[in-house]
Amino acid sequence: MLHASPSQPPEDETQDLHSLRMSDSNVTLSLSDSSESSNNANPTSRTSSKYGTPEEVQMAIEELRKAFPGEHRVETGRNTLKTYGSSENSYHPTSPHSVVVHAESTDDVVKVVNISRRYRVPITAYSGATSLEGHFSGYPSGSICLDMSGMNQILEINEGDGDLNCQSGVRWEDVNRILKEKGIPLFFPLDPGPGATIGGMIGTGCSGTNAVRYGTAKAEWFLNVTVVLPSGKVIKTRQRARKSSAGFDTTKLFIGAEGTLGIVTEATLRLAPLIPTKVAMAQFPNVENAVSAVQEILNTPYGPHIQCVELLDDHMMAAINSAGLVDQPYPVQDTLFFKIQGAAESIEQTSKIVQEIVSKHGSSRFEFAATDQEAEDLWENRKYALHSTMAAHPGTRCWTTDVCVPVSLLPRLVYETKQDLAKTGLKSTIVGHVGDGNFHALILFRDEEELKIVDDAVHRLIVRAIAMDGTCTGEHGVGVGKTEYLTDELGEDTVELMKTIKRAIDPLDLFNPGKLYPGRHDDGEKHHS
């Protein structure tokens, strides 16, 4: 159950990287002058002088080495710091950290937080490294990366209550694998990208293919969380009861906060009963027909039996075929993948209704997976859309983004986006949680010139979604990449309320600075005009 960590760098590369960072960083995070009073400071507009000097960063590193004397508990090698501060699947400005510390307990986290505060060195939590919007990048003045992936234990399973307690570095797939191995007929239904950990899922407010039936991280799938605050205090947000009206929901305060308010070390997860499923596929002449069919299906009495309904556009189906991941190529059309759940008779009745409705909306093909293995393979093709897209076009890189709009507007958004992407001449695929109005665009490029074209296309997509009463991100989170859109989406007063909460909890702005909260760029203008 241990996570794979980046490989250790050669001995000659284990030099401190702080001096390298100051000259080599290409970060363009939001930085502007702020008041000396921490109560009046903008959490995203603090100057580097508010943080520790290079000498103080070095003192913090030395104190961390004393606090964690074990082998590889504290690392400063060049390759390690760059790996932990950036992602091959994210193209936002990044900076390496000054030091990586591997935590094994809540007490470890408290020690690191107290040292961070003592020397005013920013701290960023890291675990699955699947985030796409620059969430775990370093800070240019120097930062501590707190690796939580070693905190990967399930601490207690309460089968009778339908919940379990685990550390935040546990991957969601491991939760479900262990429940299956123990013969416990329950599962955790939130299913973001492969490799995502519980802490990261909480931080980004994730969801996944099951959201149409089970909702998102912001539903009550996290009964409580244990959090280390910037003060070094440890809190548990509530007890284990299924519901409570005792005060406001402090658990929700940390869901979607992207590690800027506290570092989650444990969580109690609510589990759902395993229900039999069947997987089906329907193909359509266009996206509009496919989405219209889904809306009608979900509004029938059989809608609750739809566990998942996923859209893969014609380009995505072609990529799956080209990637060589299937034994029999699929017809290249806009396609819906369904998971239908329930007792055998419920699945049979729901399937009949689904088949009738998709036929009415022009479906040319509707079929079930013949075996459990075929069903698993079919769904895996959807979950590994990024890998299929890149495998189909060797030598390219891929920018993945997501937006979400009211379901009725999704056909228009997808159509306009496909038209826009076609004009750029770039290869792209689209996959979507169509029952939620959420879709992902995977756009390929080969060089810096094409990367700029992709960046502009992503900008237009986000503006389009917000204009449709949608959001700049349905499940990836804001990070560095989407801060500039938050005010347009939420309004200045809502964003100011978020910043007020941030200032109250983290007055020194040490927890993951430069992420989530909108602020001005160095040139005083938005990245996109």
482 lies in a domain? no
Are 195 and 130 in contact, with CB atoms under 8 Å apart?
yes
pLDDT at 9 over 80: no
Dihedral (Cα; 353, 355, 357, 359), 10-degree rounding: -160
Residues 291 and 312 in one domain: yes
Residues 268 and 353 in one domain: no
Q: Pick from 468, 495, 517: which residue ends a domain?
A: 468
23 lies in a domain? no
The pLDDT tens digits for 127-174 are 999 888 889 999 999 999 999 999 999 999 999 999 999 999 999 999
Residues 327 and 405 in one domain: yes
Direct distance between the N- and C-terminal alpha carbons of the chain, in angstroms, rounded to an integer: 46
Give me the CATH number covering residue 332: 3.40.462.10
109 lies in a domain? no
Residues 415 and 441 in one domain: yes
pTM: predicted TM-score of the whole model, two decimal places: 0.88
- What are the residues facing 397 on neighbouring strands? 445
Report residue 9: phi and psi, to 5°. -75, 160
10 Å CB burial of residue 502 (0-12, 13-18, 19+) is: buried
Residues 304 and 264 in one domain: no
Residues 254 and 358 in one domain: no
Count of the separate structural domains present in the chain: 2
Q: Pick from 440, 468, 496: which residue ends a domain?
A: 468
d(CA 389, CA 394): 9
Instruction: Report the pLDDT averaged over residues 109-126.
Output: 98
Q: Pick from 453, 468, 483: which residue ends a domain?
A: 468
DSSP string, 380-431: HHHHTHHHHHHHTSTT-EEEEEEEE--GGGHHHHHHHHHHHHHHHT--EEEE
pLDDT at 268 over 80: yes
308 lies in a domain? yes
Give me the CATH number covering residue 246: 3.30.465.10
Please report the pLDDT score of residue 528 as a whole number. Answer: 62
The pLDDT tens digits for 423-476 are 999 999 999 999 999 999 999 999 999 999 999 999 999 999 999 999 999 999
Residues 461 and 339 in one domain: yes
* Among the listed residues 123, 125, 131, the one whose alpha carbon sits nearest the alpha carbon of residue 148: 125
Domain span holding position 311: 277-468
Are 226 and 106 in contact, with CB atoms under 8 Å apart?
yes
118 lies in a domain? no
Strand order in the sheet with 263-270: 154-158, 163-167, 263-270, 222-228, 234-236
68 lies in a domain? no
